[in-house]
Chain A
Amino acid sequence: MLNYDIIVIGGGPAGLAAAIEAKRNGIENILVIERDRELGGILQQCIHNGFGLHVFKEELTGPEYAERFIDQLHEMGITYKLDTMVLDITESKVISAVNTTDGLMEIQAQVIILAMGCRERTRGAINIPGSRVAGIFTAGTAQRFVNMEGYMVGKNVVILGSGDIGLIMARRMTLEGAKVQAVVELMPYSGGLTRNIVQCLEDFNIPLLLSHTVTNIKGKDRVEEITIAKVDENRRPIKGTEEIYKCDTLLLSVGLIPENELSKSAGIVLDNITGGPVVNESMETSVEGIFACGNVVHVHDLVDWVTEESRRAGKNAARYVKKELKNINEPLVTKAEKGIRYIVPHQIRVENIDSKLDLYMRVDNIYHNAKIVVKSGETVIKQVKKPHLAPGEMESVTLLQKDLINLENRELTVELLEGGEQ
């Protein structure tokens, strides 16, 4: 059986950064497995700019960001297999993968790093009634068609969902000559970055219909019209508010879900809010020696954080191989309280932190002038003022190792205090 110290599954930004960092930390025998025909992951289709401001201190497009890491991977001589799909992984870290040249392979790894990214929710996942017709795409699929295959998916478009991919595609379709009639959002606020609302919608006078949804789709072979209605505070369509939009295309940007079929097959414990594995400070999952990073853990809105998190995974995977990861004290457990939906990591073994650790989290609503407070029992460990918080924007709080040593209470709670309160 082929044998590697570290096998990284997925060659997107997460897998690339993890592999590079593992090599930097002294591991020679690394393999990256990617099912696509090239490295770079989803970034290759994200041709717009806005990537890399934190990591490179300049604004890059997705492909430029990816190419820097791909070049580095080459320079460091890290091996990878393209067009290779991982089918299964076991708790004992045997990977089954398949491609057309090697056929079906079994490879033994000492450490596995999961970096499979996420996939898009489809129409089935949100249940829109109406005809099963052509002309309905997820926004990401449309992005790939338009930006990589040169295939224009439609001329007269409505977009459901105002997450970043939906907003980016509204602009992209407009630039390519399509008419985007509206972006329809179920919630009373957009899930996308403000920057994208300004640059992708306002610049082109594309209306953003908040608290609205698509209630019906009609057409013979292809979409011909869709019905859009207002929703009440329980997100139920309000009778009498229906409006018909004539269009030939509906793009769905209704959320991303971590890709975790493989994680499940290895018996990894998943967090049912993020949909990704439960991880500790080293980005190690519940199965010892299996690490995870990037969108497979939780959906990131900025690739820069994917890189940061994945470097941490790669470095710690290397430490694991070198038997340097410690398991001394009972880990601290992070707990999301008022206003916070989830926190990554879920567990912290303080002895493994290099001086500081970033907690990543998402809030459950829009807040102004709030405070994120991290506590152990009644002791406040850290509090950070936040002028503006939104569910679409991931937040991070940096904790210092010295503040986490010898805590009596092993639970670390994070909550939001709104403006008025203190």
Chain B
Amino acid sequence: MAYSDKVIDHYENPRNVGKLDADSENVGTGMVGAPACGDVMRLQIQVDDNGVIEDAKFKTYGCGSAIASSSLVTEMVKGKTLDEAAAIKNMEIVEELALPPVKIHCSVLAEDAIAAAIEDIKAKREKKAESAA
């Protein structure tokens, strides 16, 4: 399969590869996919007190399009509020990376990863609010 230039760029120079401290109360971790399906994405966001995403990191096991989708997503979410990040739709990823139809599931996985990371940080914050109350 021929890859678009953008997929190749993200694949060869992935942005924001790495790991944040999953135990930190400012970090939300989303891990989606399964090894048996051939892709696993781990997306982590670091959120400031105003609910703005100040940093994002990823690691992905998967095909080139999955790696590119998660790399792109780390760029997209930075500087956004949690609500803005939650509004990111997979089709934006498809368009930006020019993913062919057979690779759309990679973008869906990336959208799921954002949702999972946001859910994680929200759950952490609710728990903290509860114990404070």
Q: Do A and B come from one complex?
A: no
